[in-house]
């Protein structure tokens, strides 16, 4: 059974710092992995989608990498800003319609 | 995300009452999902639908029901059989292919009176 873990559960960093968020999964037979952002009381906003054949995806200050063999993905945020404060979640799918989500990392960027 | 509308934003349920949460999309996506989010837990799948007039139970379907009569709409009914319905409910959609991303609505928060 696929399990997705995100550590740490919470993180506080000063503004301007580069940071890495981690996502681990137990079954490497994934089809793709998606990173989301969730603001308090809101739905999830899709950030990046990495297919299993890809090693990384970039969007602006965000870079997500995928290492299927080790069951890990990282989300790199460059030059963090207070507006980046949110909960970041990752989700994997094995190619069916079902997704398994991690419990998220709550990020706070201090001004 | 734009294109997925969940209503109402807040909903209160009395004991023994059924309530229905609305999810409407204009993204022309075939797949639609309902998730439940509780504090400190990941999203848990309640039901999903790959196509009109077809839907499958997710991991926590007991006490919930759905219908998919139109491509654009996937309402979720929380029945009185769901003994702990207080949670944040999220609707999501995805295109027909597994290499496409999921998109989410803004959620409905359900509480017990």
> For A19-52, how does the pLDDT look when each residue is reduced to its tens digit (9 = 90+)?
999 999 999 999 999 999 999 999 999 999 999 9
According to the model, what pLDDT value does residue B43 have? 94
Provide, for chain B, the percentages of residues in helix, strand and coil under a 3-state DSSP scheme, each rounded to the nearest 5: 0, 50, 50
Interface of B with A in 15-74 (CB under 8 A): 31, 33, 40-43, 45, 48, 50, 56, 58
The length of chain B is 113
A53 compared with B113, residue with greater pLDDT = A53
Where is A48: in which H helix or E strand? strand A44-51
Nearest to A46 among B40, B45, B102 (CB): B102
Question: Does residue B45 register a pLDDT over 90?
Answer: yes
* Gap between the Cα atoms of A87 and A15, Å rounded: 16
Q: What percent of chain A has pLDDT over 90?
A: 95
Question: Does residue B4 register a pLDDT over 70?
Answer: yes
Question: Does residue A18 register a pLDDT over 90?
Answer: yes
Question: Does residue B2 register a pLDDT over 70?
Answer: no
- Average pLDDT on B43-50 reads 95
Let me know if A41 is exposed, middle or buried by CB neighbors in 10 A (0-12, 13-18, 19+): exposed
Say if the Cβ atoms of B1 and A46 lie within 8 Å: yes
Question: Does residue B77 register a pLDDT over 60?
Answer: yes
């Amino acid at each position: 059974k696929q399990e997705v873990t995100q550590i740490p559960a919470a993180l506080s960093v000063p503004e301007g710092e580069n940071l890495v968020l981690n996502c681990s999964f137990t079954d490497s037979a994934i089809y793709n992995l998606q990173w989301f952002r969730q603001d308090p009381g809101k739905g999830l906003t899709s950030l990046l989608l990495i297919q299993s054949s890809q090693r990384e995806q970039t969007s602006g200050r965000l870079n997500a990498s995928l290492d299927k063999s080790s069951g890990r993905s990282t989300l790199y945020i460059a030059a963090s800003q207070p507006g980046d404060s949110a909960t970041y979640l990752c989700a994997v799918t094995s190619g069916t319609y079902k997704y398994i989500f991690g419990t998220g990392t709550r990020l706070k960027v201090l001004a | 995300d734009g294109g997925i509308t969940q209503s109402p934003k807040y909903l209160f349920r009395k004991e023994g009452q059924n309530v229905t949460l609305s999810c409407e999309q204009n993204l022309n996506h075939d797949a639609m999902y309902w998730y439940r989010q509780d504090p400190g837990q990941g999203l848990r799948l309640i039901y999903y639908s790959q196509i009109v007039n077809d839907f499958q139970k997710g991991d926590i379907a007991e006490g919930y029901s759905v219908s998919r009569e139109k491509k654009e709409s996937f309402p979720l009914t929380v029945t009185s059989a769901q003994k702990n319905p207080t949670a944040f409910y999220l609707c999501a959609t995805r295109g027909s292919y597994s290499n496409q991303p999921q998109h989410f609505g803004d959620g409905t928060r359900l509480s017990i009176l």
